[in-house]
Structures are given as C-alpha cells and as structure tokens.
C-alpha cells in the first residue's frame, strides 16, 4: 500500500528502481502499425534520457538509466505474450507490479487523447491482458494512448484495425502524440504520476486535434 500511495501523492521512492514497458510487436512488418504506438513512445523517452534500448534481456530489448533508476523495456514476445517478458523482468529486478508503468495503444480513446490510470481491466488489449494474467493482478500504472476505432461500417475492425497502418491524416498527428506521451512520462518521473495525470488526462493535452 505504501508504494501505491507514493504514486498518487506525486512522490517517488528514493533508491528504488522503476520499470517502464512499451508494448508492441517485434517484426519489421509491424513497425509502423497502430499496435506499436507503445514502442514508439518509449523509444522517444529513451532518446530523451540518453538510454540505448538494445540489450537482449527478459525476451525483450532493454536499457537503463542509472541517474533516474529506471529501466526501459520493449518485449519481443509478440503482443499477446507480453506478460512472459514482464514477469521475468520484475522478478530479476526484484520489483512489484506497483513499480511498473505500461505504455500501450488504446482503441477506446480517440487519436490524440491519452489517459493515465492505475489498475482496471485490460479493456480487450491483448498485451495488457497477458500482463494481468501473468502477474495475477491489474494493479500497475498504464499510459493509455488513443488510436480511435474504425471510422465507419465496413472499416477493418479489432485485430485488423490495430495491426493496420495509420492513415495520412493520422500520421500527421503522430509526432505530437509521441512527443506528448514522452513528456507525460518525463513529468511522471520528475513529479509523480498524479501530477502527470492532472496535466495529460484531458482533451488537447497532446497538442493535436482529436480523431475518433
């Protein structure tokens, strides 16, 4: 309970490590798809922190910042087996799920909207569901990055939609989205998750016009 409370009052536990996980699929065929938005956001955070996420560890690519006491991780297991990699990392680092943040795409939010929350269901996201199942708890922080839903009847649905590539209009918004999510992560590292929630859990916080 103490660890969870520290998230909500905007404090970090001194000396304890943190694991930030970006979700996606490893093959180049999936590199620019909606489902890999979590990868892109964590890679931008890594660039800002000067962290190389290229160590092969825990069935993932990983890297760490000693100054920030944070590990960044991109599971290479494919989305629906992300939990396998996460369990190995938490066990090896001797961390509880409360010391993990997961960044992932979210169908239930429009493009250009993000919502940060702790706990809750997986909302049908196979990567999040895999992590919940592997850990036996939903109690970890998620940075849910909206990708919208198929715009009209006859559009690709579910799996086909998330594995599809962004449209031209969507792609034009991606730099703002990735930049905004990385900024939200940095703010959470510096001032706590609650502070980041206050600033980014609202329309317009990512600096681009929302698309449903």
Q: What is the pLDDT along the chain (212 residues), one digit of tens a residue?
A: 334 434 433 444 445 799 999 999 998 888 889 999 999 999 999 999 999 999 999 999 999 998 889 999 999 999 999 999 999 999 999 999 999 999 999 999 999 999 999 998 877 898 999 999 999 999 999 999 999 987 655 455 677 888 899 999 999 999 999 999 999 999 999 999 999 999 999 999 999 998 76
Q: Catalytic residue, from 35, 98, 104, 125: name it.
A: 35
Q: Is residue 44 part of a domain?
A: yes
35 is catalytic: yes
Residue 198 sits at φ, ψ, to 5 deg, of: -60, -35
Beta bridge partners of 106: 146
CATH number of the structural domain spanning residue 25: 3.40.50.1470
Q: Is residue 42 part of a domain?
A: yes
Q: Is residue 194 part of a domain?
A: yes
Residue in the block written with tokens 């956001």: 41
Beta bridge partners of 118: 141
- Give yes or no for a contact between 149 and 212, defined as CB atoms under 8 angstroms apart: yes
Query: Based on the structure, what is the number of domains in the chain?
Result: 1
Q: Is residue 80 part of a domain?
A: yes
Parent domain of 165: 2-200
Q: Nearest Cα to 141, choosing from 173, 159, 118, 175?
A: 118
CA–CA dist 53, 176 (Å, integer): 22
Q: Is residue 209 part of a domain?
A: no
């Amino acid at each position: 309970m103490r660890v969870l409370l520290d998230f909500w009052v905007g404090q970090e536990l001194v000396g304890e490590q943190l694991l930030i996980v970006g979700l996606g699929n490893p093959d180049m065929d999936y590199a620019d798809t909606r489902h890999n938005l979590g990868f892109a956001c964590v890679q931008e955070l890594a660039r800002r922190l000067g962290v190389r996420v290229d160590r092969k560890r825990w069935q993932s690519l990983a890297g760490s910042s000693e100054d920030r006491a944070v590990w960044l991780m991109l599971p290479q297991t494919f989305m629906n087996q992300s939990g396998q990699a996460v369990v190995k990392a938490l066990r090896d680092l001797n961390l509880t799920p409360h010391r993990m943040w997961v960044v992932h795409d979210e169908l239930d939010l429009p493009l250009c909207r993000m919502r940060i929350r702790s706990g809750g269901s997986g909302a049908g996201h196979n990567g999040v569901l895999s992590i919940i199942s592997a850990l036996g708890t939903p109690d970890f922080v998620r940075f849910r990055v909206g990708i919208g839903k198929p715009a009209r009847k006859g559009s690709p649905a579910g799996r086909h939609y998330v594995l599809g590539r962004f449209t031209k209009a969507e792609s034009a918004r991606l730099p703002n989205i990735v930049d905004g999510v990385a900024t939200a992560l940095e703010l959470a590292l510096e001032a706590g998750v609650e502070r980041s929630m206050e600033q980014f859990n609202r329309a317009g916080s990512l600096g681009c016009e929302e698309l449903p």
